[in-house]
DNA sequence: CGCAAATATACGCTTTAGCGTATGGAGAAA
DNA sequence: TTTCTCCATACGCTAAAGCGTATATTTGCG
Protein backbone atom coordinates (compact mmCIF):
# COMPACT_ATOMS: atom_id res chain seq x y z
CA UNK A 1 0.00 0.00 0.00
CA UNK A 2 0.94 3.61 0.21
CA UNK A 3 4.06 4.02 2.25
CA UNK A 4 4.85 7.28 3.92
CA UNK A 5 8.59 7.80 4.03
CA UNK A 6 10.10 10.72 5.87
CA UNK A 7 13.61 9.38 6.25
CA UNK A 8 16.11 7.76 3.92
CA UNK A 9 15.82 4.66 6.06
CA UNK A 10 12.12 4.40 5.42
CA UNK A 11 12.64 4.95 1.73
CA UNK A 12 15.24 2.23 1.62
CA UNK A 13 12.95 -0.13 3.48
CA UNK A 14 10.16 0.42 0.99
CA UNK A 15 12.48 -0.20 -1.91
CA UNK A 16 13.77 -3.36 -0.34
CA UNK A 17 10.31 -4.69 0.45
CA UNK A 18 9.19 -4.09 -3.07
CA UNK A 19 12.28 -5.64 -4.58
CA UNK A 20 11.77 -8.76 -2.52
CA UNK A 21 8.12 -8.86 -3.43
CA UNK A 22 9.20 -8.94 -7.05
CA UNK A 23 11.70 -11.62 -6.18
CA UNK A 24 14.69 -9.72 -7.42
CA UNK A 25 18.20 -9.75 -6.05
CA UNK A 26 20.07 -6.49 -5.57
CA UNK A 27 22.26 -7.67 -8.36
CA UNK A 28 19.34 -8.21 -10.71
CA UNK A 29 17.82 -4.85 -9.90
CA UNK A 30 21.17 -3.22 -10.35
CA UNK A 31 21.48 -4.68 -13.78
CA UNK A 32 18.09 -3.35 -14.80
CA UNK A 33 19.17 0.17 -14.03
CA UNK A 34 22.85 -0.20 -14.83
CA UNK A 35 24.03 0.16 -11.28
CA UNK A 36 26.16 -1.91 -9.02
CA UNK A 37 24.78 -4.26 -6.44
CA UNK A 38 26.67 -2.21 -3.89
CA UNK A 39 24.79 0.89 -4.95
CA UNK A 40 21.45 -0.80 -4.42
CA UNK A 41 22.67 -1.99 -1.07
CA UNK A 42 23.58 1.54 -0.14
CA UNK A 43 20.24 2.91 -1.22
CA UNK A 44 18.33 0.31 0.74
CA UNK A 45 20.50 1.00 3.74
CA UNK A 46 19.04 4.48 3.84
CA UNK A 47 21.98 6.62 2.92
CA UNK A 48 21.11 10.30 3.03
CA UNK A 49 23.72 10.90 0.40
CA UNK A 50 22.20 8.59 -2.16
CA UNK A 51 21.28 10.45 -5.30
CA UNK A 52 17.81 11.28 -6.43
CA UNK A 53 18.49 9.67 -9.78
CA UNK A 54 19.43 6.41 -8.13
CA UNK A 55 16.21 6.30 -6.18
CA UNK A 56 14.05 7.23 -9.12
CA UNK A 57 15.66 4.68 -11.39
CA UNK A 58 15.21 1.98 -8.81
CA UNK A 59 11.61 2.94 -8.16
CA UNK A 60 10.85 2.98 -11.83
CA UNK A 61 12.35 -0.46 -12.30
CA UNK A 62 10.32 -1.70 -9.38
CA UNK A 63 7.08 -0.25 -10.65
CA UNK A 64 6.88 2.26 -7.85
CA UNK A 65 5.95 5.88 -8.01
CA UNK A 66 6.56 8.77 -5.74
CA UNK A 67 3.90 11.09 -4.43
CA UNK A 68 4.49 14.35 -2.65
CA UNK A 69 1.76 15.83 -0.54
CA UNK A 70 1.25 18.19 2.38
CA UNK A 71 2.12 16.59 5.67
CA UNK A 72 -1.29 17.31 7.13
CA UNK A 73 -3.69 14.51 6.41
CA UNK A 74 -7.10 13.41 7.51
CA UNK A 75 -8.37 16.67 8.95
CA UNK A 76 -9.54 19.01 6.26
CA UNK A 77 -9.72 22.28 8.14
CA UNK A 78 -6.02 22.85 8.18
CA UNK A 79 -5.14 22.70 4.56
CA UNK A 80 -5.11 26.43 4.39
CA UNK A 81 -1.88 27.45 2.84
CA UNK A 82 -1.55 25.56 -0.36
CA UNK A 83 -2.86 28.15 -2.79
CA UNK B 1 -2.99 18.06 -3.66
CA UNK B 2 -1.10 14.87 -4.14
CA UNK B 3 1.62 15.32 -6.69
CA UNK B 4 2.97 12.37 -8.56
CA UNK B 5 6.62 12.90 -9.36
CA UNK B 6 8.52 10.47 -11.51
CA UNK B 7 11.39 12.72 -12.48
CA UNK B 8 13.73 15.02 -10.59
CA UNK B 9 12.22 17.86 -12.55
CA UNK B 10 8.76 17.10 -11.27
CA UNK B 11 10.06 16.81 -7.75
CA UNK B 12 11.79 20.14 -8.04
CA UNK B 13 8.66 21.73 -9.37
CA UNK B 14 6.60 20.49 -6.45
CA UNK B 15 9.15 21.81 -4.00
CA UNK B 16 9.21 25.15 -5.71
CA UNK B 17 5.45 25.47 -5.82
CA UNK B 18 5.17 24.64 -2.17
CA UNK B 19 7.93 27.03 -1.20
CA UNK B 20 6.24 29.85 -3.04
CA UNK B 21 2.90 28.95 -1.50
CA UNK B 22 4.55 29.41 1.86
CA UNK B 23 6.03 32.65 0.64
CA UNK B 24 9.59 31.67 1.29
CA UNK B 25 12.65 32.63 -0.70
CA UNK B 26 15.24 30.00 -1.60
CA UNK B 27 17.50 31.80 0.79
CA UNK B 28 15.01 31.58 3.65
CA UNK B 29 14.36 27.91 3.03
CA UNK B 30 18.06 27.27 2.82
CA UNK B 31 18.57 28.86 6.17
CA UNK B 32 15.93 26.66 7.76
CA UNK B 33 17.77 23.55 6.71
CA UNK B 34 21.30 24.93 6.82
CA UNK B 35 21.86 24.83 3.13
CA UNK B 36 22.88 27.38 0.58
CA UNK B 37 20.48 29.21 -1.65
CA UNK B 38 22.35 27.70 -4.56
CA UNK B 39 21.64 24.23 -3.27
CA UNK B 40 17.92 24.91 -3.13
CA UNK B 41 18.12 26.33 -6.62
CA UNK B 42 19.80 23.18 -7.79
CA UNK B 43 17.22 20.94 -6.16
CA UNK B 44 14.34 22.86 -7.66
CA UNK B 45 16.02 22.74 -11.03
CA UNK B 46 15.58 18.99 -10.95
CA UNK B 47 19.12 17.76 -10.65
CA UNK B 48 19.28 13.96 -10.71
CA UNK B 49 22.39 14.18 -8.62
CA UNK B 50 20.81 16.05 -5.76
CA UNK B 51 21.03 14.10 -2.56
CA UNK B 52 18.19 12.36 -0.84
CA UNK B 53 18.98 14.18 2.36
CA UNK B 54 18.68 17.52 0.68
CA UNK B 55 15.25 16.70 -0.66
CA UNK B 56 14.00 15.27 2.59
CA UNK B 57 15.22 18.21 4.62
CA UNK B 58 13.58 20.62 2.24
CA UNK B 59 10.33 18.71 2.21
CA UNK B 60 10.28 18.53 5.95
CA UNK B 61 10.84 22.26 6.25
CA UNK B 62 8.04 22.83 3.78
CA UNK B 63 5.62 20.56 5.55
CA UNK B 64 5.62 18.04 2.77
CA UNK B 65 5.77 14.31 3.00
CA UNK B 66 6.74 11.64 0.58
CA UNK B 67 4.64 8.64 -0.28
CA UNK B 68 5.78 5.63 -2.24
CA UNK B 69 3.23 3.39 -3.86
CA UNK B 70 2.90 0.93 -6.71
CA UNK B 71 2.75 2.62 -10.07
CA UNK B 72 -0.41 0.90 -11.10
CA UNK B 73 -3.42 2.89 -10.10
CA UNK B 74 -7.02 2.62 -11.10
CA UNK B 75 -6.70 -0.62 -13.03
CA UNK B 76 -6.96 -3.58 -10.77
CA UNK B 77 -5.97 -6.47 -13.00
CA UNK B 78 -2.29 -5.76 -12.89
CA UNK B 79 -1.63 -5.43 -9.21
CA UNK B 80 -0.36 -8.94 -9.13
CA UNK B 81 2.97 -8.93 -7.49
CA UNK B 82 2.74 -6.93 -4.32
CA UNK B 83 2.35 -9.76 -1.85
C1' DC C 1 12.69 53.12 -16.65
C1' DG C 2 15.19 52.30 -12.15
C1' DC C 3 15.94 49.77 -8.28
C1' DA C 4 15.66 45.90 -5.04
C1' DA C 5 14.72 41.27 -4.12
C1' DA C 6 15.09 36.74 -5.81
C1' DT C 7 17.29 33.35 -8.44
C1' DA C 8 20.95 31.37 -11.45
C1' DT C 9 25.68 30.80 -12.04
C1' DA C 10 30.87 30.89 -11.11
C1' DC C 11 35.40 29.47 -8.80
C1' DG C 12 38.17 26.78 -5.81
C1' DC C 13 37.79 23.47 -2.24
C1' DT C 14 36.30 19.25 0.44
C1' DT C 15 33.63 15.33 0.73
C1' DT C 16 31.48 11.40 -0.98
C1' DA C 17 28.46 8.57 -4.28
C1' DG C 18 29.10 5.42 -7.58
C1' DC C 19 32.39 2.84 -10.44
C1' DG C 20 35.14 -1.71 -11.23
C1' DT C 21 36.76 -5.24 -8.80
C1' DA C 22 37.01 -8.26 -5.08
C1' DT C 23 36.06 -10.43 -0.79
C1' DG C 24 33.81 -11.85 3.68
C1' DG C 25 29.86 -13.53 5.91
C1' DA C 26 25.11 -15.19 6.45
C1' DG C 27 21.67 -18.29 5.06
C1' DA C 28 19.71 -22.09 2.39
C1' DA C 29 19.90 -26.37 -0.01
C1' DA C 30 22.43 -30.74 -1.14
C1' DT D 1 30.09 -29.88 6.04
C1' DT D 2 30.29 -28.22 1.38
C1' DT D 3 28.35 -25.28 -1.88
C1' DC D 4 25.74 -21.67 -3.77
C1' DT D 5 23.13 -17.41 -3.66
C1' DC D 6 22.66 -13.05 -1.68
C1' DC D 7 24.15 -9.03 0.59
C1' DA D 8 27.61 -5.96 3.08
C1' DT D 9 31.90 -4.10 2.77
C1' DA D 10 36.63 -2.71 1.02
C1' DC D 11 40.18 -0.15 -2.02
C1' DG D 12 41.55 3.15 -5.40
C1' DC D 13 39.54 6.09 -8.80
C1' DT D 14 36.51 9.59 -11.14
C1' DA D 15 32.79 12.66 -11.18
C1' DA D 16 30.09 15.80 -9.02
C1' DA D 17 27.25 17.78 -4.86
C1' DG D 18 27.53 21.04 -1.60
C1' DC D 19 30.39 24.52 0.72
C1' DG D 20 31.82 29.76 1.16
C1' DT D 21 31.92 33.57 -1.41
C1' DA D 22 30.71 36.45 -5.06
C1' DT D 23 28.46 38.00 -9.05
C1' DA D 24 25.29 37.77 -13.20
C1' DT D 25 20.64 37.66 -14.45
C1' DT D 26 15.93 37.71 -13.96
C1' DT D 27 11.70 39.36 -11.85
C1' DG D 28 8.63 42.38 -9.73
C1' DC D 29 7.36 46.76 -8.00
C1' DG D 30 7.14 51.83 -7.65
Q: Where are the domains of chain A?
A: 1-62
pLDDT band at A2 (very low <50, low <70, confident <90, very high): confident
CB B69 within 8 A of CB B30: no
Phi, psi of A57 (to 5 degrees): -65, -45
Task: For domain B1-62, say whether CATH 1.10.260.40 is its number.
Answer: yes
Model pLDDT for residues A50-78, shown as the tens digit of each residue? 999 999 999 999 999 999 999 876 544 44
pTM assigned to the model:
0.86
Neighbours of B44 (CB within 10 A): 22
CA A2 to chain centre: 11
From the list B6, B81, B82, the residue facing A66 with the nearest CB is B6
Q: Judge whether A25 is closer than 8 Å to chain B, CB to CB.
A: no
Model pLDDT for residues B29-81, shown as the tens digit of each residue? 999 999 999 999 999 999 999 999 999 999 999 999 999 999 866 544 444 33
CB B51 within 8 A of CB B43: no
Predicted pLDDT at A74: 52
CB contact under 8 A, A66 and B64: no
The CA distance from B12 to the nearest CA of chain A, in Å, is: 11
Phi, psi of B4 (to 5 degrees): -80, 135
Element (H, E) at B65: strand B64-70
Q: Which residues of B touch A44 (CB under 8 A)?
A: none
Amino acid sequence: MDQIARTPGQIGAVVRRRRKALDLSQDALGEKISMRQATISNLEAGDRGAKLGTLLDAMSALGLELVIRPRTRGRSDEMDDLA
